[in-house]
Structure 1
Amino acid sequence: MTDDNEQENLPKPPPLPGQIYIRPGIDDRPDLDKALTPEDKSAIARLAVHIEREQPSDSAERAETQAVRMSDAGSPAVATAVPPTPIADASSAFLDMRDPMVAADGTKPDKAQIKRLNAGFTLAAVLRTLPWAMLNMVALPAIIDRLFGNPLHAGHVTQMSVEAARVAGAAPAPWLALVVIVGAIVGLVANVVVGVMSDHTRTPHGRRTPWIIAGGLLSALFTLPLGALGNVGAILFFWILLQITYAMLAAPLAAAFGERYPDKFREHAMRWRGIGLMLGQLLGVALGAGGLVLGGELPFAATAVVFVLAAVVPVLVWPKEPSSEWIANVKYSTEPAFAQMKLPSGDDNASFRRAYVARIFMMAGVGVMTVFQWLIVRHYVLAEWYLDARSAAQSSPQIWATCIAMLMIAVGAAVGAACAAGCAGRFGEWCEVKNVPSRVVVIAACVVYAAAIVLPVALALFLSTPVIDAGLFVYGIVSGFAFGLYDVFNQDVVAATIPDPRDNARYLNAFNVASVIGTVVAGCLGVVAVLSLGYIALLVAAIVVVLVGAALTPKD
């Protein structure tokens, strides 16, 4: 008995390797109640708290959305070309550990869906720009011109001198400027309000799709009466309604572009969108001019159909937008969005304010040439030709001469913008190698644009329409190329004036307002110039303000 107890008290040798199997994660798992400290236990308890899904950022707070709006207000070349210094986006997935293949709305589109997004946004750019270019460049000035005794088709007119014809042709300018100025201001406000409301829209069909469809359909509805209106007051009323409904179409499209594209594919998509903008502007002028030449009236019915297509086609082509019902139903206000549009103050923003003012002057010069382009061509460049044709036929000739001239300018501008977009990349590399600042290119582009304005003045001395049409085509190429280079390299200048790249969205939001202010200044300046000394003063004023914009361009 004693021997057995002694044998039990002897030390036992350790187990041989593999003799006892310990299951990983099961047998060796510690007792958490004993292993964890109270601080660790409280940290783990916080993980069990339900966290609401993060509210998506507003469209005004995203730099890529403001860059899209910048390309809408300027030359399509800025969307098609690769600028020397792209606008930095602090929320980009390339700056953190997020997947750059995932879009801002949380979706991860595959290869086929990316192609559908490319096709949808390109078609959207064409279809929404086409009717808007037709209305602004041809329809609106032609309708107001008709109200002051300048018919769109044949009709009896009295004989007059060239100067008397030009003075009579200046009568529609103040009313055209009034409609454009009021429309620009209403459009600016409508874009802000629609942007905020669409940001907080909660539907099974997403935030943007309902606004896009409603905006396109209502724009088509308000376009149809324009051709039958007989006074400026009615035209102004429907033009205000069109500004609101077009904002319902354009603002959600710009926001959707930034939300639905992953960072990996956005640059490629911007190029295709720029091509769509070019085609839309060209086809819009062609639609208006073709309707006048072939049918004697503006094709408002066809324009309304294009608005409907702009609302329906993109929604059908791109992948269905995810539901937005999960967005928190919170009270919102438009005040923060309007506050972001204010010009920043402080000594650190002196360069940005100078770039802002320079943009206003440049867009004022460009606005003078685009807002009054129909009147300049018909009542200044072609004034003597029309009088000779009236003398021969004793009646007002068809409007085909003005339509062809407008089409030549549009084709030339598209060619010039395409050339600017194509050579901007290589030109930027050359400037970098030669250490040429972007400011020099911007100033040179302004000077070239100002020089191009001299062409319509010289063309008024010719009577041969082939010479005039060829000259206006050259004017379109030179001005389109100069404005395209200006927009591309001015983006580099603006980016250098922003003190903190994390505030790019706020600064770009404010900078986009400069284009609207430039349009308002162009309308006011045009009225004063035309009523004082005629269209020659209008062209001189455009040259002066463009050169002032060049002189105010800050260093980058």
Structure 2
Amino acid sequence: MTAQPAPDPALDLAPTGLIRSTTPAPGEPPASPPANRRLLPSMLVGGLTLFATYAGLIAILLPTQIQVLFGEKNAEANLAVVTTTSFVFTLFAQPLAGAFSDRTRSRFGRRAPWMVIGAFVGGILLLGMGSLTQLVWITIFWVVIQVALNFLQAPLTTITADRFPRSKRGGASAMLGIGMQLGGMIGVMVASALAAQFGVAYSIFGIGVIIVTVLFVVLNRDWSSKDAPMEPFRWGAFFTGFWVNPRKHPDFAWAFAARFLLILGYFVVSSYQLYMLQKYIGLSLVDAQGAVLTLTLVAFVPTLLAIGLSGWWSDKVGRRKVFIYVASVIMAVGFIMPLVMPNMTGMIVMSVINGVGFGVYMAVDAALMTEVLPNASGAAAKDLGILNVATNIPQALSPSIALLIISSLGGYAMLFVFAIVFVILAAIATAPIKGVR
């Protein structure tokens, strides 16, 4: 019998296993191929499409649909009902998606099946979202769409940990950040242009998610995982695995807290931007829809430059935390602007400054998260999913918190005060992280 050649040695150790240039032999741990020339552009397009969908839906389409159907008077309360309900159901969507993908054994690898399932479920329901006229059905569809897109997002964001060594994750994180920024701009542009026909806009986003996801998994095939070993499934171990002891893994806990605080501060303002432009700045609904697009466009170039420079610079100097500090301070300054200038000029200046701050943050945050994972391998997607809960919870809760602030603490101006406090707290929570420079 001819001896089989030994598999190529691993190129690097990733949080999710080995990065190697050849398919793992049967019985060997799961591995991923090293990044090729297609992967970074694919991550850019994949992130762009996903975040364009998020931005278009959250910033324009859902608030517009609710206001048109149920009136301006109850718009904030009805939006809070839909988004808070989705929060309850999507709270652990990304950790669950990550845990399932970590354990997936298929000829297509661990991540691709869940990306495709999430894209098809979310995309198909988006085709029908615009035809709904009852709040209960809008809420049900919105919940399922959000869960499905989270099942797409969790494995997509794990690609950084799967296929890039630690020294290159800043650049990969920056690519997803650029996709997020481009997607936010394009999503708002498409949604604003088609706001009067929100059913058509929902359908465009749904079809786009399906097509781009299928192309991503076809062009960036993972190694098969069907012959990789896997521990027997135990319900107890599965559910206890979602608890990460903060005493044993303090860096993980502090990273979770820092992301939670910054995202909450940022989205308490951005989640009600359409209504804020009407009731704080004094614009009509149509003018406010156009103003959302304006604010997105003026922030685009500053954010893009900040992402590109910060991701490269962070890898070059081997530091992450200082960039989070800088991002928090810049964003705090940005949120001061509408308080000083409660008009469209103040909103534009805020958007430009926050574009820089949030760009710096996006470029570095995802890379930092891959460096505080408590498991050496095998559960990274689940752990990254837990960290992504620190994004999902504040995004989902922000409309309800904003409504409470508006109604009880002095109106829309207090949203900016809240945001300033929380982005500064995020910088403070980053300081105790010891395993990352």
TM tier relative to shorter chain: 0.7 to 0.9
Deviation at 1:543, TM superposition (A): 2.7
Which residue of 1 is the match for residue 360 of structure 2?
485
**Does 2:416 match 1:539?**
yes
Q: Assess if the C-alpha contact under 8 Å between 2:33 and 2:223 holds in 1.
A: no
Go from structure 1 to structure 2 and tell me whether the alpha carbon gap of 1:339 and 1:409 turns closer, same or farther (over 3 Å shift).
farther
Go from structure 1 to structure 2 and tell me whether the alpha carbon gap of 1:360 and 1:216 turns closer, same or farther (over 3 Å shift).
closer
TM-score normalised over the length of structure 1: 0.63
Which residue of 1 is the match for residue 269 of structure 2?
369
Deviation at 1:420, TM superposition (A): 1.9
**Does 2:406 match 1:530?**
yes
SS for the counterpart of 1:345 is: coil
Which residue of 1 is the match for residue 10 of structure 2?
none
Q: Assess if the C-alpha contact under 8 Å between 1:139 and 1:298 holds in 2.
A: no
Deviation at 1:208, TM superposition (A): 3.4
Q: Assess if the C-alpha contact under 8 Å between 1:213 and 1:312 holds in 2.
A: yes
Which residue of 1 is the match for residue 426 of structure 2?
549
Choose which of 326, 329, 334 in structure 2 pairs with 1:447: 329
Per mean C-alpha deviation after superposition, the further-off stretch among 419-428 and 531-540 is 419-428
**Does 2:289 match 1:403?**
yes
Which residue of 2 is the match for residue 519 of structure 1?
395
| Cα separation, 1, equivalents of 2:309 and 2:182 | 19
Deviation at 1:223, TM superposition (A): 0.9
Deviation at 1:237, TM superposition (A): 0.6
TM-score normalised over the length of structure 2: 0.77
Q: Assess if the C-alpha contact under 8 Å between 1:130 and 1:284 holds in 2.
A: yes
**Does 2:71 match 1:182?**
no
Question: 1:106-145, CA deviations, whole angstroms, 9 ceiling, x for partnerless residues?
Answer: 5757xxx923334433332222222222112221222222
Which residue of 2 is the match for residue 17 of structure 1?
none
Q: Assess if the C-alpha contact under 8 Å between 2:177 and 2:362 holds in 1.
A: no
Deviation at 1:446, TM superposition (A): 2.4
In the alignment, residue 177 of structure 2 is paired with which amino acid? Answer: G
Listed as ranges, the matches of 1:431-510 within 5 Å are 442-461=324-343, 468=344, 471-487=346-362, 502=376, 505=380, 510=386
Alignment: residue pair count? 415
Deviation at 1:499, TM superposition (A): 11
In the alignment, residue 75 of structure 2 is paired with which amino acid? Answer: P
Question: 1:188-218, CA deviations, whole angstroms, 9 ceiling, x for partnerless residues?
Answer: 4222333333344444444433333332222
Which residue of 2 is the match for residue 299 of structure 1?
201
Which residue of 1 is the match for residue 300 of structure 2?
414
In the alignment, residue 354 of structure 2 is paired with which amino acid? Answer: S
Choose which of 15, 33, 36 in structure 2 pairs with 1:63: 15
Go from structure 1 to structure 2 and tell me whether the alpha carbon gap of 1:360 and 1:316 turns closer, same or farther (over 3 Å shift).
closer
Which residue of 1 is the match for residue 54 of structure 2?
132
Q: Assess if the C-alpha contact under 8 Å between 2:61 and 2:195 holds in 1.
A: no
Deviation at 1:309, TM superposition (A): 1.3
| Cα separation, 1, equivalents of 2:88 and 2:210 | 25
Deviation at 1:284, TM superposition (A): 1.0
State which structure, 1 or 2, has the greater radius of gyration over its C-alpha atoms.
1
Which residue of 2 is the match for residue 144 of structure 1?
66
Which residue of 2 is the match for residue 21 of structure 1?
none
Which residue of 1 is the match for residue 155 of structure 2?
252
Structure 2: 5+ residue stretches without partners:
1-6, 8-12
Go from structure 1 to structure 2 and tell me whether the alpha carbon gap of 1:501 and 1:283 turns closer, same or farther (over 3 Å shift).
same
Go from structure 1 to structure 2 and tell me whether the alpha carbon gap of 1:490 and 1:223 turns closer, same or farther (over 3 Å shift).
closer
**Does 2:279 match 1:379?**
yes
Which residue of 1 is the match for residue 4 of structure 2?
none
Which residue of 2 is the match for residue 35 of structure 1?
none
Question: 1:468-489, CA deviations, whole angstroms, 9 ceiling, x for partnerless residues?
Answer: 2x54333222112112334556
Q: Assess if the C-alpha contact under 8 Å between 1:100 and 1:262 holds in 2.
A: no
In the alignment, residue 424 of structure 1 is paired with which amino acid? Answer: S
Deviation at 1:366, TM superposition (A): 0.9
Which residue of 1 is the match for residue 39 of structure 2?
117
Question: 1:23-67, CA deviations, whole angstroms, 9 ceiling, x for partnerless residues?
Answer: xxxxxxxxxxxxxxxxxxxxxxxxxxxxxx9xxxxxxx9636xxx
Q: Assess if the C-alpha contact under 8 Å between 1:184 and 1:516 holds in 2.
A: yes
Question: 1:503-525, CA deviations, whole angstroms, 9 ceiling, x for partnerless residues?
Answer: 99587665443333433553442
